[in-house]
């Protein structure tokens, strides 16, 4: 369909999600539904991929759990910063082997490498302690047995055990492999199938813990098929219901909801006397069109419009707004339920993520006492602040000042939660010195840079359109500095 | 109420039409039925792309009028064809907000006709959705 010969294309509003034809205010397209300015034309020719710059279709900020920006990532490269524990886990699989795994070549020299959150410690006895940050907690898992007697971890499932040996080269089993660290995203050979299988085991464990919600925010999941957007999948029933609810909200009419009985009952009623009738500017009932008469009982909406009660009430039970001026009798939070209810839904799994991960790891890597004796994963309370000195926790072990980790200073480790989410960035792009100091800025709204580019693009389009379409103005050029981010302060 | 609100309201509208007439370009064609009225709509003036054309707008009122919006379509038969307009389907169905979310009981049959007339008058291109 072409915008030149066909009908005018629909636009999408990135603020309210509505698809509409925009209204032009000062030659700027505004959403016809929410009057937001962040709208984009949906036209195959002009704008083949409206979401191409965004990692996910945008949602309201209230529905966005913290997310790491992934734009500007070269296509095909691993995600810049998979956040949180999953990032740590994936980092172990896909990441730079030197950063995480050491050939057990220095048997007498306990070594730790890592940039503050995910680190493996090789002990001289062949055990491997993997430490990680989860949300607000820290845990560690020890692989192998004290004394190097072979794989002694109590594993829940035998196949997982086998795969572990192949994936973690420090694990005695895997030592013979020529490529003990299969890179999942590039090598899809028969001999690297262990990686995905391991991931599957992890993912299913995560699902069991009910902690992979619909809004799984790991930006990309590197599966055998290449880049897969995990946000496209739901893993739990709750997630499925969330998606259903979103779809139904999107499909239902966006008009105001009915007013509640309490609101209707609360509207003032009075009888019109002669004086009131004379001074009133409303001479007839807008619904039944009958003239008001002395003695008529009327109901008044806060916008001052008056109606016969019998005329107004049936309408308000359908649509809680004034028939004349559309003054809404429905509170905003009822009109936009997502802003009030979504946080409960989406944040709850996040708060539990630490505990759930710990439980999951417990199940995966054995409850039978072979986890690190000094720091059993269960002792990593998910809410314990990272900067509390905890002698039983590995940070002291894993962050010796002599190592490459530039942020051993305990004062900076109070950003440990954020730093953990940044760990992968120190692998790929960001200088590792930033990892512990700069907390990432979570884009709770659409990134400002994207907005700016979007606006520039829009302007270009407008000038283009104005050649063919008189109605499209070219008057946007003067608004280069307009702080339209402010317009995104959503309700 | 002895009389249903819908009937009472329609009688009132009909009386208004008979007493005060309708705006230019809007001609009541059949208003005998209680629940189905037809108006002829013309766009006046030289600027319109519908110059000289006539369209028949059918309004079907439910019991719940004016709380519920009437069903409004352009007639598509041997005698009348719906206008070529991006918001009007070839079967005469009309895509307009006032027939959906933005219906208000304040609107009347005549005001619907005026809305349709201005919708046609503001159109510059004879395009059709399907």
Number of domains in chain A: 2
Tell me what pLDDT residue B10 has.
93
CA distances from A270 to A40, A265, B34 (A): 49, 13, 33
How many beta-carbon pairs under 8 angstroms link A with B? Answer: 49
Q: Residues for chain A: how many in total?
A: 491
Pick the more confident residue, A417 or B121: B121
The answer to whether residue A182 sits within a structural domain is no
Residues of chain A with pLDDT under 50: 1-4, 57-124, 126-127, 134-193, 212-226, 337-351, 367-444, 468-491
Q: What CATH homologous superfamily does B5-121 map to? A: Ubiquitin Conjugating Enzyme (3.10.110.10)
* The two three-digit tokens of residue A388, written as one number: 């509390």
Tell me what pLDDT residue A313 has.
92
DSSP state of A323: T
Chain B interface residues facing chain A, Cβ-Cβ under 8 Å? 1, 5, 8-9, 12-13, 16, 64, 66-68, 86, 100-102, 104-106, 108, 127-129
Tell me what pLDDT residue A251 has.
60
Cα–Cα distance for residue pair B46/B37, rounded to 1 Å: 28
Comparing CA positions, the residue from A361, A397, A398, A356 lying closest to residue A377 is A361
Per-residue pLDDT, averaged over B104-108, amounts to 94
* The two three-digit tokens of residue A404, written as one number: 């490459």
- The boundaries of the domain holding residue A303 are 261-319
For B8, nearest residue in chain A (alpha carbons): A288
Are the C-beta atoms of residues A180 and A152 closer than 8 Å to each other? no
Sign of CA dihedral A166, A203, A65, A417: negative
Tell me what pLDDT residue A42 has.
82
Query: Which of A20, A289, A291, A322 to probe the B interface (max B CBs under 10 A)?
Result: A289
How do beta strands A137-143 and A221-223 pair? unpaired
Chain mean pLDDT for chain B: 91
Comparing CA positions, the residue from A219, A287, A202 lying closest to residue A55 is A219
In this predicted complex, what is the ipTM? 0.89
Q: Which pLDDT tens digit goes with each residue over A430-457?
A: 444 444 444 444 444 555 666 676 677 6
Are the C-beta atoms of residues A434 and A441 closer than 8 Å to each other? no
Q: Which pLDDT tens digit goes with each residue over B6-63?
A: 999 999 999 999 999 999 999 999 988 888 999 999 999 888 999 999 999 999 999 9
The answer to whether residue A120 sits within a structural domain is no
Annotate A23-49 with DSSP letters as a single string. Answer: EEETTEEE-TTT--S-EEE--TTT-S-
Scanning the structure block, which residue is given the tokens 């002698």? A391
Cβ-nearest to B9 among A7, A288, A314: A288
Pick the more confident residue, B105 or A210: B105
| Distance separating the N- and C-terminal Cα atoms of chain B | 45
Residues of A in contact with B64 (CB under 8 A): 314
Beta strands in A145-275 (DSSP E): 221-223, 226-228, 269-271
Domain stops at, among A319, A340, A358: A319
Cα–Cα distance for residue pair A352/A355, rounded to 1 Å: 5
Tell me what pLDDT residue B118 has.
94
Record: contact A7-B86, CB cut-off 8 A: yes
The pLDDT > 90 percentage for chain A reads 5
The phi, psi pair for A111, rounded to 5°, reads -125, 150
Scanning the structure block, which residue is given the tokens 């219901």? A241
Minimum distance, in Å, between the CA of residue A451 and any CA atom of chain B:
29
* The two three-digit tokens of residue B92, written as one number: 């005469």
DSSP state of A359: H
The pLDDT > 90 percentage for chain B reads 78
* The two three-digit tokens of residue A218, written as one number: 């790991």
Residues of B in contact with A257 (CB under 8 A): none
A268: domain CATH number? 3.30.40.10
The answer to whether residue A442 sits within a structural domain is no
Q: Residues for chain B: how many in total?
A: 130
Q: Does A318 touch chain B (CB under 8 A)?
A: yes
Tell me what pLDDT residue A386 has.
43
């Amino acid at each position: 369909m072409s915008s030149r010969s066909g009908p005018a294309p629909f636009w999408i509003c990135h603020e309210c999600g509505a698809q509409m034809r925009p209204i032009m205010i000062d030659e700027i397209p505004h959403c016809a539904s929410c009057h937001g300015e962040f709208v984009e034309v949906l036209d195959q020719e002009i704008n083949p991929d409206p979401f191409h710059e965004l990692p996910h279709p945008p949602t309201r900020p209230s529905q966005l759990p913290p997310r790491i920006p992934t734009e500007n990532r070269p296509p095909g490269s691993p995600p810049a910063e998979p956040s949180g524990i999953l990032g740590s886990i994936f980092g172990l699989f896909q990441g730079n082997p030197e950063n995480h795994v050491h050939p057990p070549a220095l048997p007498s020299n306990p070594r730790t490498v890592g940039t503050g959150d995910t680190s493996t410690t090789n002990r001289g006895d062949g055990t491997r302690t993997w430490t990680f940050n989860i949300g607000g907690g820290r845990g560690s898992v020890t692989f192998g047995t004290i004394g190097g007697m072979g794989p002694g971890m109590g594993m829940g499932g035998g196949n997982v055990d086998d795969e572990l040996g192949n994936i973690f080269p420090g694990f005695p089993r895997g030592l013979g492999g020529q490529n003990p660290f299969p890179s999942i995203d590039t090598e899809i050979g028969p001999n690297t199938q262990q990686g995905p299988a391991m991931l599957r085991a992890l993912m299913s464990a995560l699902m069991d813990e009910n902690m992979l919600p619909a809004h799984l925010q790991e930006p990309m999941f590197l599966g055998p098929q290449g880049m897969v957007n995990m946000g496209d999948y739901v893993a739990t029933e709750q997630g499925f219901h969330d998606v259903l609810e979103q779809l139904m909200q999107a499909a239902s009419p966006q008009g105001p909801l009915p007013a509640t009985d309490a609101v209707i009952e609360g509207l003032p009623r009075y009888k019109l006397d002669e004086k009131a009738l004379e001074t009133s500017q409303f001479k007839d009932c807008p619904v039944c069109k009958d003239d008001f008469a002395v003695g008529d009982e009327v109901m008044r909406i806060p916008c001052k419009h008056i109606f016969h009660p019998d005329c107004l009430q049936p309408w308000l039970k359908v649509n809680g707004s004034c028939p004349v001026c559309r003054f809404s009798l429905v509170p905003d939070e009822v009109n936009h339920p997502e802003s009030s209810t979504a946080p409960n839904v989406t944040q709850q799994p996040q708060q539990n993520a630490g505990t759930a991960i710990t439980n999951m790891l417990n199940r995966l890597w054995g409850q039978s006492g072979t986890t690190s004796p000094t720091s059993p994963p269960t002792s990593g309370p998910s809410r314990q602040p990272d900067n509390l000195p905890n002698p039983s926790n590995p940070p002291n072990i894993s962050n010796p000042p002599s190592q490459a980790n530039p942020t051993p200073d305990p004062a900076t480790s109070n950003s440990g939660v954020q730093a953990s989410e940044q760990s992968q960035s120190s692998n790929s792009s960001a200088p590792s010195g930033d990892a512990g100091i700069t907390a990432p800025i979570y884009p709770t709204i659409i990134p400002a840079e994207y907005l700016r580019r979007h606006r520039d693009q829009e302007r270009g389009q407008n000038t283009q359109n104005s050649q063919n379409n008189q109605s499209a103005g070219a008057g946007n050029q003067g608004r280069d500095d307009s702080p339209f981010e402010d317009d995104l302060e959503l309700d | 109420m002895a009389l249903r609100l819908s009937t009472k309201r329609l009688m009132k509208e009909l009386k208004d039409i008979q007493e005060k007439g309708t705006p230019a370009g809007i001609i009541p064609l059949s208003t005998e039925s209680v629940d189905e009225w037809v108006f002829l709509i013309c766009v006046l003036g030289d600027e319109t792309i519908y110059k000289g054309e006539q369209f028949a707008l059918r309004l079907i009122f439910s019991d719940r009028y004016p709380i519920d919006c009437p069903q409004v379509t352009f007639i598509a038969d041997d005698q009348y064809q719906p206008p070529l307009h991006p918001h009007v389907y070839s079967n005469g169905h009309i895509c307009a907000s006032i027939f959906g979310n933005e219906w208000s009981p304040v609107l009347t049959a005549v005001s619907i006709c005026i809305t349709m007339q201005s919708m046609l008058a503001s159109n510059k291109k004879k395009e059709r959705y399907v």
